[in-house]
Amino acid sequence: MRRVLIFGVVVVSAAPASASLMQCDDLVKLQGAVRHLVLYEGSVRNAANLHPRDEVDFTADRRKATITDNPPRLGDQYLTTCEFDAAGRVVRDAWTLGTRVLSEKTHTYDSRGRRLKTVWAHSEGNTIITHSYDDVARTEREVWSTSGMTMTTVRQLDSQGRILREDRRARMRINQRLRRTVTLGMPQRDVGFRPSARDAA
């Protein structure tokens, strides 16, 4: 857990130390509100006694943004590039070091603006993330598939789309030649919102 200072406001972030303080999905709500943003990580200083920070810049048409870690945390200048469609949704994000693309994600959506599929190209290969929705049962299913392993997460939602319960299972291929698999299940758990009597009313 990390504490991030945004123009004097402390925000708790779960981002790993090597990642930017802000990701492309975080910028969606900022479109049209700012052109340039600086985020300081107030609790950490580098060897030069400077606070690590991210600088976010939007293009004039708000269809593209860049996130630059400055000064560099890892000794090199990393850049995150975010691209948005006309509805303001993230359709591509890439993490680069110079001209080298370290990670790239492309996203597609359904007619209601819900994310359907993400193709994530990274150093270990490709990961496919698919989403499906059951409006009647109020469930959302998310499936990660990569290198012989599938992780399925089913979330139970309330009437306002808030997560009530989550069930996650992993399926791994342990013998490529015999195509044997093993399924690992994690207990269903309550992960979020509990409706109060006022909400129920």
User: What was the pLDDT predicted at 41?
Assistant: 62
Percent of the chain whose predicted confidence (pLDDT) is above 90: 32
User: Are residues 102 and 123 in contact, defined by beta-carbon separation less than 8 angstroms?
Assistant: yes
Give the containing element (helix H, strand E) for 189.
Answer: strand 180-190
DSSP string, 33-98: T-SEEEEE-TT---TTS---EEEEEE-TTSSEEEEEESS-SSSS-EEEEEEE-TTS-EEEEEEEET
User: What was the pLDDT predicted at 198?
Assistant: 39
26: Cα separation from own chain's centroid? 8
Residue 158: CB atoms within 10 A of its CB come to 15
CA dist 116 → 85, 107, 130, 170 (Å): 15, 8, 6, 20
Specify the 3-state DSSP secondary structure of 24: helix
Q: What is the pTM of this model?
A: 0.69
Q: Nearest 5°: phi and psi at 30?
A: -95, -10
Which residues of the chain are modeled with pLDDT < 50?
Answer: 1-19, 43-50, 178-179, 181-183, 185, 187, 191, 193-201
Peptide bond into 52 cis (omega under 30): no
Specify the 3-state DSSP secondary structure of 200: helix
User: Are residues 118 and 105 in contact, defined by beta-carbon separation less than 8 angstroms?
Assistant: yes
Token pair in block for residue 19: 């990642």
User: What was the pLDDT predicted at 195?
Assistant: 42
d(CA 196, CA 201): 9
For 109-128, what is each residue's pLDDT tens digit? 999 999 999 999 988 889 99
User: What was the pLDDT predicted at 117?
Assistant: 96
User: Are residues 145 and 131 in contact, defined by beta-carbon separation less than 8 angstroms?
Assistant: no
